[in-house]
Amino acid sequence: MKDLFANGGWSGIRATRTTTGIVQSRSLAAILFAGAISIAVATWLCFRLGAGVAVVGFVYLIEVLLVSLMGSLVSSVAISVIAAGCLNFFFTQPLFTFRIDAQQDIVALTAFFVTGAAPRI
């Protein structure tokens, strides 16, 4: 028992877990921030160039998959939701609303969301 406390035993384990949790949350925040910035830049660029839904969806899908490879399920789902929202708001008719009129856009957004979240499941 004396050796356990002399070598940093229980307190060392607790400090390691707390430090790891802080590092993981900072890493998650950094990944989410980088992913959100990349989605914003891609949205601005594709909107300025007049890209269609298919092109933008593919660009977003690549970004979501890259974030999924770097992060966890939480970051993958969060970036997928942000990308699906941007795709719906900026590139599907009617523009600048979250309303969807065409049936094919509903299917495309659902498939995009499921595909973006799938690599971590």
Query: Which residues, in sequence order, are CB contacts of 5 under 8 Å at separation 6+?
Result: 11
User: pLDDT tens digits, residue range 5-51?
Assistant: 555 544 444 444 445 566 667 788 889 999 999 999 999 999 999 99
pTM over 0.75: no
pLDDT at 37: 96
Say yes or no to pLDDT of 117 above 80: no
Tokens of 16: 């390691």
Structural contact between residues 117 and 80, judged by C-beta atoms closer than 8 angstroms: yes
Distance of CA 90 to the CA centre of its chain: 18
pLDDT at 12: 45
3-state helix, strand, coil in the chain (%, to 5): 85, 0, 15
What are the residue boundaries of the structural domains of the chain, listed by start? 28-120
Residue type, 6: A
User: pLDDT tens digits, residue range 59-85?
Assistant: 998 998 888 888 777 888 888 889 988
pLDDT at 106: 79
pLDDT at 101: 79
